Amino acid sequence: MLGDEAIAQAGLDAGISGMYAYPGTPSTEIMEYIQHSKQAKENKVHAKWSTNEKTSMESALGMSYAGKRALCAMKHVGLNVAADAFINAAITGVNGGLIVISADDPSMHSSQNEQDNRFYGKFAQIPILEPTNQQEAYDMIHYGFELSEEFKVPVLMRITTRLAHSRAGIETRSPRPQNQLVLPKDPMQFILLPSIARKNYRTLLGNFRSFVDASEESDFNQFIDGPDKSLGIITCGIAYNYLVENYEDQNVPYPVLKVGQYPLPRKLIEKMMNTCKEVLVIEDGYPMVEEMLKGYLGKENIRGRLDGSLPRDGELNPNLVLAAIKKEKFEIEPIPSTVANRLPAMCKGCGHIDAYLALNEALLEHGKGRVFADIGCYTLGAYEPYQAISTCVDMGASITMAKGAADAGLVPAVAVIGDSTFTHSGITGLIDAVIGKSPITIVISDNYTTGMTGGQDSAALGRIEQICEGVGVDPAHIKIFHPTPAHHDEMVALLKEELAYDGVSVIIPRRQCVQTMKDKDLAIKVKELGLNNRK
Amino acid sequence: MKSDIILSGVGGQGIISIAAAIGEAALINDLHMKQAEVHGMSQRGGAVQSTLRVSSKPIASDLIAYGAADMILSVEPMESLRYLNYLKPEGWLITNAVPFVNIDDYPNIETIYAEIRKIKNHVIIDADEIAGKVATKRASNMVMLGAATLFIDIPLESVKEGIRQIFGKKGEAMTQSNIDAMLAGREAAELYMKQNR
Ligand SMILES: Cc1ncc(C[n+]2csc(CCOP(=O)(O)OP(=O)(O)O)c2C)c(N)n1
């Protein structure tokens, strides 16, 4: 099973009643596994995509309120979107067990940053689990739910791309039944009025000691002694593998503290610091543990990413770890110079391409630098031969950045956003633009799906115009288009018209994603909605 | 036994099926297996890479260390060179000869072949043509799998079984044509070895 699949199966076996998520690499396959699972269907486990990460986090918390176990998963940047709910869920606490999975992406294989979400767990002051391998991921979900219900807190599980998308054999356990529907014992628990929140917060703080104790006793934190005390090594999660990979039969000559649960196990850390001359911290992501041990004044015998023993950014690997132990530099050998770059590109026949070709032409007279794009397949319009966009920051930022730029005098300004991104977090920005009467043209490139992450359902399907009208866009300035080469000139003319309009206009190039043509469920919905009948 | 394999190609060329077939074959033989896949962004016609590790001993890392791969198995010639720094000095580079040209600056194919021939242990075969003959061109990934089986210490029968397990749902004809493609690839690699000794 993939790491993601192991987590999903563990959730089912641990008796979850629902899984809530918005797609995002490398977390997507957790939900997809549950959606295809017979076990989930038989047990009526909720497994529908949420509109964004915040709604998924809140729905999961609602399920927990009702006494049932819930799983919530997202890619690392998704937790920024869900952060308000996440941090406050630590204050309300939970009723039924709640585990939040954050799938981080060191080296940014498919993301805009490589933020380390262990910091979110620390920020929320809740326990964090970080598996070393797929089997541990499976086991940790079972343990995590027990921990969550014992202390009535949400638990964060942090995985990385490598673990999520790598396959290994998994030993599963027999399924546990779902929890009964039961309301929280304290009817005020989930009401975060200041007086109650203060009390809850003190309970959370008071529990911290118990979280540390749990870490001390946890099987997921192990002190493995070694004869050579000149160096001690602390590994976090998957970094352990990169260490032992370098030694015959995984026998490391140095004492190793393998960390898989936080808050850090204090006694084990002390043991390591007291017995070893130097300590090397190996962690994928930010130097979180290293920084904690080093302290503000920078204890000199702590090595890791901060002192240059390991690179400050990017995913780790066995070579880098070995070089750090030996205090050598590791240089990757160059590959033959004949090898050309092969960047990802929009598919042949993709509607986004036709939309960009028309947009580029319509904007010729205004010049470059006016297109605020968003996150999705259409972001690939940044590359040649289109070079059609100037920004891509976070989901939803197209409409709002175009508004800000227009406020600054950049008129016309254009936003380009996908259908799924629009419902994820474009709508609120559109309301800002409508209220501000901003002179912006918003292109909602509708391909009926969440394309970039593999073609999941789009919450926007069949309702984009209604949403736009509903939030106050003038219907005369909502235009739908069928983006094909044959309609190029028509589209250019229409875009020019709307670019000249002094107010919010919405243009919807609408054509199904070529990758989803075999999706039978989607075909039925598209037919029912009559989407392909309209031009 | 131990085989650390880097699989490479372009998004959509089917390297995951190769990995899955070997992976299944490994599990049949009670071997340990780790297989890292590529999802998301890089699938859109970009360069893709996957690692497959099979061993009689437990495997730690999902990633193969630089300079430690026993084999690079590629369904596209330029892509076979992209991960060359992972290959051991005595490792095998096994690649399809047919370029997948979806970029303007695709290099002259002869310079690519020349780079591949610099590697002591290499096999280049025209997997598309071979697949076209015994099955369909789409089965070129199975041809490459067949070529690789010469250098992986797993019984051929188990590889066939692996193919059956991943294509079984798609019917007997499909399964058999993939097995045929695999066997033809193995034969082609044998021939290549004889001719280039
Ligand atoms: C907060 C956040 N959640 C999820 C993602 C992952 N993600 C990147 S693009 C995308 C979907 C885009 O879908 P859509 O807007 O419909 O465009 P398409 O790819 O279909 O063209 C998602 C979910 C992300 N980058 N950020």
Residue A521: give its domain's CATH number. 3.40.50.970
> Residue B153: what are its φ and ψ, rounded to 5°?
-85, 65
pLDDT value, residue B6: 97
Strand ranges for A297-408 from DSSP E: 302-303, 371-372
d(CA B153, CA B130): 24
- Same domain, residue pair A31 and A136: yes
Residue A343 in domain: no
Average pLDDT over residues A457-478: 97
pLDDT tens by residue, A187-233: 999 999 999 999 999 999 999 999 999 999 999 999 999 999 999 99
Query: Quick check: A46 and A18 in contact, CB under 8 A?
Result: yes
Q: Is the CB of A375 under 6 A from ligand 1?
A: yes
d(CA A163, CA B183): 33
- Same domain, residue pair A171 and A27: yes
Residue A215 in domain: no
Q: How far is B61 from chain A (nearest CA, A)?
A: 5
Residue A489 in domain: yes
Residue B43 has pLDDT above 70, yes or no: no
Which one of A153, A178, A208 terminates a domain? A208
- Same domain, residue pair A78 and A198: yes
Average pLDDT over residues A404-420: 98
pLDDT value, residue B190: 97
Q: Which candidate, A355, A389, A386, places its Cα nearest to that of A371?
A: A389
β-pair partners for A450: A456
- Same domain, residue pair A193 and A71: yes
Count of structural domains, chain B: 1
- Same domain, residue pair A22 and A159: yes
From chain A, the residues in CB contact with B83 under 8 A are 335
Nearest to A245 among B10, B46, B65 (CB): B65
Residue B196 has pLDDT above 80, yes or no: yes
Q: Sign (positive/negative) of CA torsion A264, A268, A270, A276?
A: negative
Average pLDDT over residues A357-370: 97
Average pLDDT over residues B163-168: 92
Per-chain mean pLDDT for chain A: 96
Residue A361 has pLDDT above 60, yes or no: yes
Residue B71 in domain: yes
Residue B140 in domain: no
Nearest to A345 among B40, B45, B105 (CB): B45
Which helix (H) or strand (E) segment holds residue A231: the answer is: strand A231-236
CB contact A88 to B (< 8 Å): no
pLDDT value, residue A269: 97
Residue A345 in domain: no
* Total number of residues shown for chain A: 535
Q: Which candidate, B126, B81, B20, places its Cα nearest to that of A342?
A: B81
A475: tokens are 């219907």
Hey, whose CA ends up nearest to atom 24 of ligand 1? A24
Residue A340 in domain: no
pLDDT value, residue B170: 87
Q: What pLDDT band is residue A247 in, cutting at 50, 70 and 90?
A: very high
Mutate to test the interface with A, among B62, B102, B117 (most CBs of A within 10 A): B62
- Same domain, residue pair A158 and A111: yes
Per-chain mean pLDDT for chain B: 93
Q: What is the value of pTM for the model shown? A: 0.95
Query: Quick check: A23 and A186 in contact, CB under 8 A?
Result: no
pLDDT value, residue A4: 97
Range(s) of the domain holding residue B57:
2-121+147-171
- Same domain, residue pair A401 and A466: yes
Count of structural domains, chain A: 4
Q: What pLDDT band is residue A343 in, cutting at 50, 70 and 90?
A: confident
Residue B36 in domain: yes
pLDDT value, residue B41: 57
Cβ distance B63 to A162 less than 8 Å, yes or no, reads: yes
Q: Quick one: how many helices (H) and strands (E) in chain A?
A: 20, 17
d(CA A529, CA A508): 16
Q: Which candidate, A78, A91, A131, places its Cα nearest to that of A262?
A: A131
- Same domain, residue pair A238 and A146: no
Average pLDDT over residues A322-350: 93
Nearest to A110 among B33, B40, B107 (CB): B40
d(CA A445, CA A28): 22
* Gap from CA of A75 to ligand 1 centroid (Å): 11
Task: Pick the atom of ligand 1 nearest to A419's CA.
Answer: 16
The pairing of beta strand A98-104 with beta strand A278-282: unpaired
d(CA A163, CA B61): 10
> Residue A248: what are its φ and ψ, rounded to 5°?
-55, 130
Residue B167 in domain: yes
Q: What pLDDT band is residue A169 in, cutting at 50, 70 and 90?
A: confident
**ipTM confidence score:** 0.92
Alpha helix (H) residue ranges in chain B: 15-28, 77-82, 109-117, 127-134, 140-149, 156-167, 172-195
Interface of B with A (CB under 8 A): 10-11, 23, 27, 32-47, 57-58, 60-63, 65-68, 78-79, 81-85, 102-103, 105-107, 111-112, 115
Q: Which residue has the tokens 């260490």?
A: A243
Q: Kindly report the number of other CB atoms within 10 A of residue A258's CB atom.
A: 20
Average pLDDT over residues A36-42: 98
From chain B, the residues in CB contact with A166 under 8 A are 34-37, 62
Residue B76 in domain: yes
Q: What pLDDT band is residue B12 in, cutting at 50, 70 and 90?
A: confident
Query: Quick check: A454 and B39 in contact, CB under 8 A?
Result: yes
Q: Is the CB of A78 under 6 A from ligand 1?
A: yes
Q: Is B129 exposed, middle or buried (0-12, 13-18, 19+ CB in 10 A)?
A: middle
CB contact A25 to B (< 8 Å): yes
Residue B40 has pLDDT above 70, yes or no: no
* Cα→Cα distances A187→A182, A190, B26, Å: 12, 7, 55
A101: tokens are 């999975």
B76: tokens are 């596209």
pLDDT value, residue A234: 98
- Same domain, residue pair A373 and A325: no
- Same domain, residue pair A292 and A322: no
Cβ distance A335 to B37 less than 8 Å, yes or no, reads: no
- Same domain, residue pair A179 and A278: no
Residue B131 in domain: no
Residue B187 in domain: no
- Same domain, residue pair A37 and A183: yes
Residue A435 in domain: yes
Residue A379 has pLDDT above 60, yes or no: yes
d(CA A419, CA A467): 12
Name the amino acid, one letter, at A167: R
Which one of A186, A208, A230 terminates a domain? A208
Average pLDDT over residues B124-133: 97
Q: Is pLDDT larger for residue B188 or for residue A300?
A: B188
d(CA A174, CA A315): 35
Return all residues near A520 (Cβ < 8 A) that are at least 6 apart.
none
Range(s) of the domain holding residue A306:
302-331
Residue B154 belongs to a domain with what CATH number? Answer: 3.40.920.10
Residue A410 in domain: yes
pLDDT tens by residue, A62-107: 999 999 999 999 999 999 999 999 999 999 999 999 999 999 999 9
pLDDT tens by residue, A485-524: 999 999 999 999 999 999 999 999 999 999 999 999 999 9
* Cα→Cα distances A461→A66, A448, A523, B42, Å: 30, 6, 12, 26
pLDDT value, residue A344: 86
